[in-house]
């Protein structure tokens, strides 16, 4: 299967930022929309949004985040806190000559980075759409790893990702393509918890069929990029969750003042976490007082791919309402 036609129109750049080289894809002219991907993805995860936003009159910027795709992946595991990644993003915007605040669309781990961009540098963000992962202020108490272990057990997937090399061996045994399919299909709707004495990928059934929103070209392109970059960079985000928690102590219980929208899939695994759904509907606006709405679309975790057209309508309407 051939590449989508719009791919020949995008511009690929490599910019120096925060001590690394970052790969960036751009398309369109107008107000800038920054797209921040999650795990285990790269810029192409936004394949349904990039041409639609450009056609709607926006300048789209979609980087490969640190550790992913064609962007550098430092070997030092400690260099993957959200402060490092936000630093990359700010430096990238500077390198691209973005002097005005930008719109941000951020999914999964990109959502964590997007919210922290608003927290650390609110002057750089005009409005944000967080997808799947809501803003969660730093709170006193146990680390997220300890909390997740108490709530969901040692087999919960972020806990399994903590040991260097373990998940990498699991993915290698399963194969890159099948590991991706398990994440993109089963991972869209299930909470990954491996039984004792069983590895994560072994505990997840293969998808019964290829989802309609993933073409053969898509999965082959994903596989090629992951085989190039490896899994370790993305896994290092998880391995720095507790360090990030420590470093964010100055922002304890901090509220975000940025104009925001939160979007999730009705079957999103994140919305199945204990008490998280209640937090989204009851408490999120307390910490994001300029939250304009909560939008739930029919689908799972990778809603930007599963319901590309519906999400595009939401994004374009929201950004047009806030374009001054």
Rounded-to-integer distance, Cα 41 and Cα 53, Å = 20
Would the pLDDT of 234 be above 90?
A: yes
What was the pLDDT predicted at 99? 94
Q: Is 23 a catalytic residue?
A: no
Average pLDDT in the chain? 94
| CA–centroid distance for 191 within its chain | 17
Give the three-state DSSP class for 41.
Answer: coil
| Residue 231 CB burial class (10 angstroms; 0-12, 13-18, ≥19) | buried
What was the pLDDT predicted at 252? 96
pLDDT in tens, 212-224: 899 999 999 999 9
Rounded-to-integer distance, Cα 272 and Cα 268, Å = 7
Would the pLDDT of 188 be above 70?
A: no
Q: What share of the chain is helix, strand, coil (3-state, %, to 5)?
A: 45, 15, 35
pTM for the model stands at 0.97
Region 282-302: mean pLDDT is: 96
Cβ proximity of 66 and 88 under 8 Å? yes
Region 268-292: mean pLDDT is: 89
- Positive or negative: CA dihedral 194, 226, 309, 320: positive
Q: Where is average pLDDT lowest: 36-50, 97-111, 136-150, 172-186? A: 136-150
What was the pLDDT predicted at 2? 80
Q: Which of 48, 185, 222, 238 is catalytic?
A: 238
Q: Which of 23, 37, 84, 301 is catalytic?
A: 301
Confidence band for 143, pLDDT divided at 50, 70 and 90: confident
Region 79-105: mean pLDDT is: 99
Every domain of the chain and the residues it spans: 7-321
Ranges 117-121, 147-151, 200-204, 208-212, most confident: 117-121
User: What share of the chain in percent tops pLDDT 90?
Assistant: 80
Q: Domain 7-321 carries which CATH code?
A: 3.40.50.1820
What was the pLDDT predicted at 187? 61
pLDDT in tens, 240-269: 999 999 999 999 999 999 999 999 999 887
Q: Which of 108, 116, 170, 268 is catalytic?
A: 108
What was the pLDDT predicted at 276? 86
Q: How far is CA 70 from CA 84, 157, 164, 210, 257, in A?
A: 17, 26, 22, 26, 33
What was the pLDDT predicted at 133? 96
Would the pLDDT of 78 be above 90?
A: yes
Confidence band for 297, pLDDT divided at 50, 70 and 90: very high
């Amino acid at each position: 299967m051939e590449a989508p036609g719009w791919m020949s129109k995008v511009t690929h750049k490599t910019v120096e930022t925060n001590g690394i080289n970052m790969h960036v894809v751009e398309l369109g002219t107008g107000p800038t929309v920054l797209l921040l991907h999650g795990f285990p993805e790269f810029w192409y995860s936004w394949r349904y949004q990039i041409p639609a936003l450009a056609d709607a009159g926006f300048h789209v910027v979609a980087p490969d985040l640190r550790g992913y795709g064609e962007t550098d992946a430092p070997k030092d595991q400690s260099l993957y806190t959200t402060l490092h990644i936000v630093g990359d993003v700010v430096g990238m915007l500077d390198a691209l000559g973005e002097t005005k605040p930008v719109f941000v669309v951020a999914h999964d781990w990109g959502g964590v980075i997007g919210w922290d961009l608003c927290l650390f540098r609110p002057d750089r963000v005009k409005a944000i759409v967080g997808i799947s992962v809501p803003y969660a202020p730093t709170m006193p108490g146990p680390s997220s790893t300890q909390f997740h272990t108490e709530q969901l057990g040692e087999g919960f997937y972020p806990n399994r990702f903590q040991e260097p090399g373990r998940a990498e061996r699991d993915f290698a045994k399963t194969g890159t393509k099948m590991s991706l399919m398990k994440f993109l299909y089963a991972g869209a709707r299930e909470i990954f918890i491996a039984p004792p004495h069983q590895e994560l990928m072994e505990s997840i059934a293969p998808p019964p069929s290829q989802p309609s929103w993933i073409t053969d070209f898509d999965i082959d392109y994903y596989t090629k990029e992951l085989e190039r970059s490896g899994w370790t960079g993305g896994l290092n985000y998880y391995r720095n969750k507790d360090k990030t928690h420590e470093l964010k102590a100055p922002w304890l219980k901090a509220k975000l003042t940025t104009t925001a929208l939160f979007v999730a899939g009705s079957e999103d695994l994140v919305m199945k976490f204990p008490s998280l759904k209640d937090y989204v509907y009851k408490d999120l606006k307390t910490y994001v007082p300029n939250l304009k709405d909560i939008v739930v679309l029919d689908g799972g975790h990778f809603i930007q791919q599963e319901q590309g057209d519906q999400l595009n309508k939401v994004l374009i309407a929201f950004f047009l309402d806030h374009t001054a």
